[in-house]
């Protein structure tokens, strides 16, 4: 009996060790045969608010500027964003949207009235960048405009006339006004936000009160010609599940006609290192801050799952899409800058946050129709920083440029098992991943290694029985807080990646520490 007991104990220990060993393996299994959901390109959208130097100096310099421009819009910024394949741009806010009156931003610039930007720094807004300039910018970028209307301090008539000015080719006062301002044909803008953060800076409304406003504003935001509006209603802040519950419950009780007046529901969630009180430095941080930030950004998946569960309860046919139209890192402003301008640097940590979130959005492509990182230039987790004639492409820019291969691709279902990344007894999965297949049949796999200290060996089961050619790119750097700065050689950029081996339908990847990697797998 003693020998039997010893044998069983030894076998049990061996079993534990085997299972432990397996738990430490990093295995990604692709299922390309099950790929059917198209990743909406608009998941890769952006956001430009009248905030700090996002619009003025970042995008708009005026036609008389020595900085190269086309009709006042910076050429270098447009060129960089086109290379990144920007699909859509949300404007004019943000909190600014609900104090913005669009008629003040049209006509001869010298005749446009000024206003005080009470939300962001209390500076004077001269309205030199308005509707016509924004839509010119979108045409230069080749992207879809997303206009957020003023529900907080505006009127139904004001919103209705804005849609008419932009979209109508009928004979009407607003059409005549647009033509008088130099634009003969309608822009046919599809995406319209009906308010912004109505639970906060957009009016401090209850969900019931906002829903009543939504129905009024939606009703008078008309379709013109063959253009059908996609109306985005204000959704929850972070984990306000009651807001989602109330909006969807009230929506579900409406007639089929009324239901069409809300096509999308927004979600806002910012990644905070230490919470709203002490957001932490964008550049001076340690591994504990690194871990806290990545843990916080990973919560996006939980929020999406829980809000979608509520939406699906009232909308099993998925008529209403989820629109994550504000997301990204929010740190303390750079020392010496205006606190109201939200200018922060952008490090390798931001690159990983971008990669993680884009993987999350890809993997929810069946329900997420759009997302907009905050913000495009010079504000929060931006793509681009400008200083007079100089321009810097941030680590986040390079991630978006790398991930553009997913736009319009078909999502490949995956399974992932991976080891944990642990700091001070707390753990996170060390790897984030998503995959897609483009129209030519090439597969793209994007991987993020959250561990700043250790390389991760990842086995990718490709799910195909044929010879393949594999190529790759990587974004990483020597230090976790490296960033790209004016007048300096960029430290965080995309580079060629070839640390992988292909054998018997498997791809074994040596994923560098603190990195974002994109692999392309093509049949020979």
Tell me if 4 is assigned to some domain. Answer: no
Q: Is residue 88 part of a domain?
A: yes
pLDDT at residue 166 in the model? 98
Instruction: Please give the C-alpha separations between residue 421 and each of 21, 227, 418, 520, in angstroms, as whole numbers.
Output: 15, 49, 9, 26
Which residues have a catalytic role annotated?
Answer: 197, 326
Q: How confident is the model at residue 273 (pLDDT cuts 50, 70, 90)?
A: confident
What's the CA gap between 380 and 396, in Å, rounded? 11
Longest dimension (CA), the chain: 99
Same domain as 393, residue 419: no
What tens digit of pLDDT does each residue of 221-250 get?
Answer: 999 999 999 999 999 999 999 999 999 999
- The residue from 391, 407, 423 where one domain ends is 407
Is the model's pTM score more than 0.75?
yes
In a domain, 236, yes or no: yes
Residue 258: its pLDDT value, please?
A: 81
Say if 20 falls within a structural domain. no
In this structure, the answer to whether residues 264 and 300 fall within a common structural domain is: yes
Residues 439 and 388 in one domain: no
Closest CA to 232 of 243, 245, 221, 246: 221
Domain that holds residue 257: 41-407
What is the per-residue DSSP string for 37-104? Answer: -B--GGGGEEE--SSTTSSBTTTB--TT-SS-EETTEEHHHHHHHHHTT--EEEES-SGGGGG--GGG
- Determine the pLDDT at residue 275: 78
In this structure, are 69 and 154 located in the same domain?
A: yes
Mean pLDDT score of the chain, rounded to an integer?
Answer: 94
370 and 427 belong to one structural domain: no
Q: Please report the pLDDT score of residue 64 as a whole number.
A: 95
Average pLDDT value for residue range 114-131: 95
Query: Is the domain of 312 the same as that of 456?
Result: no
Are 364 and 425 found together in one domain?
no
- Locus of tokens 């909006």: 247
- Answer yes or no: are the C-beta atoms of 497 and 520 closer than 8 Å: no
Same domain for 230 and 115:
yes
What would the mean pLDDT of 505-509 be, rounded to a whole number?
A: 93
Summary count for the chain: helices (H), strands (E): 11, 27
Residue 109: inside a domain: yes
Specify the number of domains making up the chain: 2
Q: What is the dihedral of CA 393, 394, 397, 399, to 10 degrees?
A: 130
Answer yes or no: are the C-beta atoms of 234 and 269 closer than 8 Å. Answer: no
User: Distance between CA 485 and CA 264 in Å, rounded?
Assistant: 38
Residue 362 CA to residue 375 CA, distance in Å, equals 20
Orientation angle between helical segments 395-403 and 348-363, nearest 10 degrees: 30
Residue with tokens 């060390």: 430
Do both 341 and 470 map to the same domain?
Answer: no
> In 3D, which of 270, 281, 289, 514 has the Cα closest to residue 399?
514
114 in any annotated domain: yes
Residues 362 and 493 in one domain: no
User: What's the rounded mean pLDDT across residues 201-209?
Assistant: 97
Task: Indicate if 212 and 344 belong to the same structural domain.
Answer: yes
Residue 6 is assigned to a structural domain of this protein? no
Question: In terms of domains, do 241 and 332 share one?
Answer: yes
Question: CATH number, domain at 483?
Answer: 2.60.40.1180
| Domain assignment of residue 10, yes or no | no
**Which residue, 407, 431, 456, sits at the end of a domain?**
407
7-11, 53-57, 88-92, 495-499: least confident range: 7-11
Predicted confidence (pLDDT) per residue in 289-345, tens digit: 999 999 999 999 999 999 999 999 999 999 999 999 999 999 999 999 999 999 999
For residue 520, what are the CA distances in angstroms to 144, 281, 365, 504?
27, 35, 20, 17
* CATH code: domain of residue 62: 3.20.20.80
What string of DSSP letters covers 474-500? EE--SSTT-B--TTS--SS-EEEE--E
Q: How confident is the model at residue 255, as a pLDDT? A: 84
Please, are residues 476 and 458 in contact by the beta-carbon 8 Å criterion?
no
Full 3-state SS string of 272-310? CCCCCCCCCCCCCCCHHHHHHHHHHHHHHHHHHHHHHHH
Cβ distance 502 to 459 under 8 Å? no
**Domain endpoint, select from 407, 427, 453:** 407
């Amino acid at each position: 009996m003693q020998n039997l007991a010893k044998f069983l104990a030894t076998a049990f220990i061996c079993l534990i060790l085997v299972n432990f060993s397996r738990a430490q393996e990093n295995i990604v299994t692709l299922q390309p045969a099950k790929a059917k959901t198209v990743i909406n390109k608009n998941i890769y959208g952006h956001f430009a608010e009248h905030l700090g130097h996002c619009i003025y100096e970042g995008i708009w310099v005026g036609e008389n500027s020595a900085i190269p421009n086309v009709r006042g819009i910076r050429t270098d910024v447009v060129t960089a964003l086109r290379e990144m394949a920007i699909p859509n741009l949300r404007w004019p806010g943000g909190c600014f949207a609900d104090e913005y009156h669009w008629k003040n931003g049209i006509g001869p610039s010298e005749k446009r009235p000024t206003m005080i930007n009470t939300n962001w720094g209390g500076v004077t807004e001269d309205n030199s960048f308005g509707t016509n300039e924004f839509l010119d910018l979108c045409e230069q970028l080749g992207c879809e405009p997303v206009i957020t209307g003023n529900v907080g301090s505006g009127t139904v008539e004001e919103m209705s006339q804005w849609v008419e000015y932009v979209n109508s080719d009928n004979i009407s006062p607003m059409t005549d006004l647009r033509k008088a301002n130099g634009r003969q044909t309608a822009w046919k803008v599809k995406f319209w936000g009906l308010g912004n953060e109505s639970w906060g800076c957009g009016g401090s409304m209850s969900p019931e009160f906002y829903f009543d406003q939504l129905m009024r504003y939606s009703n008078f935001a008309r379709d013109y010609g063959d253009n059908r509006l996609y109306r985005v209603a204000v959704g929850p802040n972070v984990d306000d599940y009651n807001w989602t519950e109330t909006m969807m419950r009230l929506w579900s009780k409406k007639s089929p006609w009324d239901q069409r007046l809300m096509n999308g529901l927004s979600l806002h969630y910012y990644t905070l290192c230490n919470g709203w009180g002490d957001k932490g430095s964008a550049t001076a941080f340690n591994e504990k801050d690194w871990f806290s930030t990545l843990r916080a950004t990973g919560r996006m998946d939980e929020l999406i799952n829980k809000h979608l569960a509520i939406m699906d309860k009232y909308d099993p046919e998925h008529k209403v899409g989820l629109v994550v139209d504000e997301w990204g890192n929010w740190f303390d402003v750079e020392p010496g800058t205006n606190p109201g301008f939200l200018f922060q640097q952008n490090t390798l940590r931001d690159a990983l946050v971008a990669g993680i979130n884009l993987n999350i959005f890809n993997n929810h492509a069946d329900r997420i129709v759009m997302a907009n990182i905050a913000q495009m230039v010079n504000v929060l987790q931006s793509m681009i920083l400008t200083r007079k004639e100089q321009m810097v492409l941030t680590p986040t820019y390079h991630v978006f440029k790398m991930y553009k291969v997913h736009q319009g691709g078909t999502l490949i279902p995956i399974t992932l098992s991976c080891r944990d990344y642990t700091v001070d007894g707390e753990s996170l999965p060390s790897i984030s991943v998503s995959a897609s297949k483009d129209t030519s049949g090439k597969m793209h796999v994007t991987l993020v290694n959250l561990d700043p200290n250790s390389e991760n060996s990842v086995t990718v089961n490709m799910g195909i029985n044929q010879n393949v050619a594999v190529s790759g790119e990587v974004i990483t750097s020597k230090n976790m807080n490296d960033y790209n700065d004016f007048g300096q050689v960029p430290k965080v950029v995309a580079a060629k990646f070839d640390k992988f081996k292909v054998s018997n339908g498997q791809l074994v990847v040596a994923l560098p520490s603190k990195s974002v990697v994109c692999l392309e797998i093509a049949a020979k």
